[in-house]
Every structure is written in structure tokens, then in C-alpha cells.
């Protein structure tokens, strides 16, 4: 498998605090890679660096060999690296379907003026976005609630909607921000199945997560951060037996890392 995302010596300092320190790893095409670590390990910062919502102090992120760090987030999204947010970040006052339709922005062939004037391209886009949105909603099992106003959804659905919005942009790499947080066991199992289906669609998935059993179940590989530094990288089985990882989680019972 070839490398799709290359993280090279990424460092981020906030004043005197080094949140991410010289982290390097690569993500292979069509793999599910999880980023884990105790609270404050720098996972979220790293996540924002990869999606270019933050500029690195040093180092770079290469997507298919091209530098994407320090580009504007919408340009990174256009190239095919798209992040999702935690649940509350949706277009609250739109219907579920409209949330997904508006997220088709990157697939638009007509210009905004074209839409205003209603050109053939624009009308074709509108029809295509509608059917693509329905397909995505069906794929994620949201079709029954496509007419609901997004702010009224329960939280499992919100998470799925966040992913639906991400999918609508037609990404090559989807970055998921804690997709299993706050879910019970059954919900988590469903979400795990959903993420696997994303990979079947040909996507590469990079996720940040706290839920160890889910991570161990779903990931091809795991990268572990502690105090901003990468302390381990490997398959779930390797990670579970890694001394440094166990020490990093010291004070946490062994079960917490899925042993």
C-alpha cells in the first residue's frame, strides 16, 4: 500500500508550551489509523495541524507528496483531506438533507453566478447533489430523518450527520474527531461498522479517539502520543504489549487499553 499522508517532524508550540513535538508518521492508502494518548497528549492539536486548521511551528504534512500544511483549510479540503468535528458542529438550523447538500460545495461545476442565473450546469448540479445526498444518508442510515432540523437530533445521529457532511465533499482522507465519544456499547459497535464501511468506499480514515476497545477493534495501525511526542506506532496487538504505552497510561487500569 502506498503512502497517502506523510507527517514529517510536526511541531507546534503555543507560547512556552510544546503541544506537539517532532512527530512523524505516515498514513497508507485505505487504512484506518488511530491517534491515541492520554488527556493533553496533543492529539487534538495534531489533528488540527493535519487538517490545516492550525499552522505548524515546524515540520510539514504531505498529501500525495504535496505540502498541505499552512494552506487555508478550504484549500486542503479541496485537495481531498477533510475533517469532521465533534457532534455540536453541524449546520443547526438546516434540515439533515440540506446539511449534506450544502456540503457538496466542492463538487459544484457551475459558479455562484451560474446558480443565480439557473444555468444548465447549475440545474444539473442541484439534481446531482440531491441524489448524492440521499445516497449518503441512506449509506449512513439517516434516510428516515432526512427532513428533520439538525438541532433536534439525538447525539448518535449528530455524529453520523457530521460524517455525512464530510463524505459529501468526496474526500480521499477523512479525519474523524472522536467519533465514538459519549456512545454506549451498542452505538459504538454500529459506529465501528460505519467507519469500516467508509474504508470499503475507498477512503483513508485517520481518527482521534479515547475509546480504547473501539480503537483496538477498528484500527489497522495505531499511533500513540504522550506529552506531545510519539511514543509508539504499530498494530493494535503491538501497541497493547508496548511497555511505553502501558507506562503512559499508568494509573489507568489495564482494561482501559483493552488488555
Partner 1 sequence: MIRKLLGLLFFLAAVFILLPLFIEVTGRKDLYYVMTSVALLSIASAGVWLTFYIGRINIGQGAYALMGGYVSAILVMSYSWSFWLTLPIAGLFCAGVSILIGMPILRLRGVYFAMVTLVLTEVARLLALALPITNGAKGITSIPLPGSISIFGVTLVPDFVQVENPRIAFYYVAVVLMVVCYAGMYRLVNSRMGHLCMSLQQNEELASSIGVNIAWLRVVAYSISSFCGGVSGAVFVAATQSIYPSSFTVTDSVNFMLNCFLGGLGYVFGPMLGTLVLYLGWNLLFSTGQFQLLIYSAVMIILMLVLPNGLLSLGSWRRKG
- Is residue 83 a contact point for partner 1 (CB under 8 A)? yes
Tell me the pairing of strands 229-234 and 66-67.
Answer: unpaired
Q: Where are the alpha helices (DSSP H) in the chain?
A: 43-50, 73-79, 96-102, 112-117, 120-139, 155-168, 185-200, 212-218, 236-240, 243-248
Helix (H) or strand (E) holding 222: strand 221-226
Q: Which is nearer to partner 1, 135 or 220 (CB)?
A: 135
- Is residue 85 a contact point for partner 1 (CB under 8 A)? yes
Q: How many residues bind partner 1 (CB under 8 A)?
A: 36
- Is residue 92 a contact point for partner 1 (CB under 8 A)? yes
Closest distance of CB 9 from partner 1, Å: 25
- Is residue 94 a contact point for partner 1 (CB under 8 A)? yes
Radius of gyration over every alpha carbon of the chain, rounded to an integer in angstroms: 19
Closest distance of CB 85 from partner 1, Å: 6
Distances (CA, A) of 141 to 74, 135, 138: 27, 10, 5
- Is residue 105 a contact point for partner 1 (CB under 8 A)? yes
Interface pick for partner 1 out of 11, 26, 73, 135 (rule CB under 8 A):
73
The pattern of x and - marking residues 166 through 205 that bind partner 1 according to CB under 8 A reads: x-xx------------------------------------
Q: Is 219 helix (H, G, I), strand (E, B) or coil?
A: coil
Interface pick for partner 1 out of 9, 17, 67, 89 (rule CB under 8 A):
89
Determine how many CB atoms are found less than 10 A away from the CB of residue 117: 10
Least Cα distance to 146 among 132, 166, 125 occurs for 132
Closest distance of CB 132 from partner 1, Å: 13
Closest distance of CB 68 from partner 1, Å: 13
Closest distance of CB 60 from partner 1, Å: 20
Least Cα distance to 51 among 25, 73, 75 occurs for 73
Least Cα distance to 63 among 51, 74, 54, 47 occurs for 51
Strand order in the sheet with 229-234: 81-83, 173-177, 204-208, 32-36, 221-226, 229-234
- Is residue 118 a contact point for partner 1 (CB under 8 A)? yes
- Is residue 222 a contact point for partner 1 (CB under 8 A)? no
Residues 14, 41, 33, 86, CA torsion sign: negative
- Is residue 51 a contact point for partner 1 (CB under 8 A)? yes
Q: Which is nearer to partner 1, 168 or 222 (CB)?
A: 168
- Is residue 84 a contact point for partner 1 (CB under 8 A)? yes
Q: Which is nearer to partner 1, 150 or 232 (CB)?
A: 150
Determine how many CB atoms are found less than 10 A away from the CB of residue 185: 10
- Is residue 21 a contact point for partner 1 (CB under 8 A)? no
- In angstroms, the CA 213 to CA 215 distance is 5
Give the residues lining the site for partner 1 (CB under 8 A): 51, 53, 72-74, 77-78, 82-85, 89-94, 98, 101-103, 105-106, 108, 110, 112, 115-116, 118, 122, 125-126, 165-166, 168-169
Amino acid at each position: 500500500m502506498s503512502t497517502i499522508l506523510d507527517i514529517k517532524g510536526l511541531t507546534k508550540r503555543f507560547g512556552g508550551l510544546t503541544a506537539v513535538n517532532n512527530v512523524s508518521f505516515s498514513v497508507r492508502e485505505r487504512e484506518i489509523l488511530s491517534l491515541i494518548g492520554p488527556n493533553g497528549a496533543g492529539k487534538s492539536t495534531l489533528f488540527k495541524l493535519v487538517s490545516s486548521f492550525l499552522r505548524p511551528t515546524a515540520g510539514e504534512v504531505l498529501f500525495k507528496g504535496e505540502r498541505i500544511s499552512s494552506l487555508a483549510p478550504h484549500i486542503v479540503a479541496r485537495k481531498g483531506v477533510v475533517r469532521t468535528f465533534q457532534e455540536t458542529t453541524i449546520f443547526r438550523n438546516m434540515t439533515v438533507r440540506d446539511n449534506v447538500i450544502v456540503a457538496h460545495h466542492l463538487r459544484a461545476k457551475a459558479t455562484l453566478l451560474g446558480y443565480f442565473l439557473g444555468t444548465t450546469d447549475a440545474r444539473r448540479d442541484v439534481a446531482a447533489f440531491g441524489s448524492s445526498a440521499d445516497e449518503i444518508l441512506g449509506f449512513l442510515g439517516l434516510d428516515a430523518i432526512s427532513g428533520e432540523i439538525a438541532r433536534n437530533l439525538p447525539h448518535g445521529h449528530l455524529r453520523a450527520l457530521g460524517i455525512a457532511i464530510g463524505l459529501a465533499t468526496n474526500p480521499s482522507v477523512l479525519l474523524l474527531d472522536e467519533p465514538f465519544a459519549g456512545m454506549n456499547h451498542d452505538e459504538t459497535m454500529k459506529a465501528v461498522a460505519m467507519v469500516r464501511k467508509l474504508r470499503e468506499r475507498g477512503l483513508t480514515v485517520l481518527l482521534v479517539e479515547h475509546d480504547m476497545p473501539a480503537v483496538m477493534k477498528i484500527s489497522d495501525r495505531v499511533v500513540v502520543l504522550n506529552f506531545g511526542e510519539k511514543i509508539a506506532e504499530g498494530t493494535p496487538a503491538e501497541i497493547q504489549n508496548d511497555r511505553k504505552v502501558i507506562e503512559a497510561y499508568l494509573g489507568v487500569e489495564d482494561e482501559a487499553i483493552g488488555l
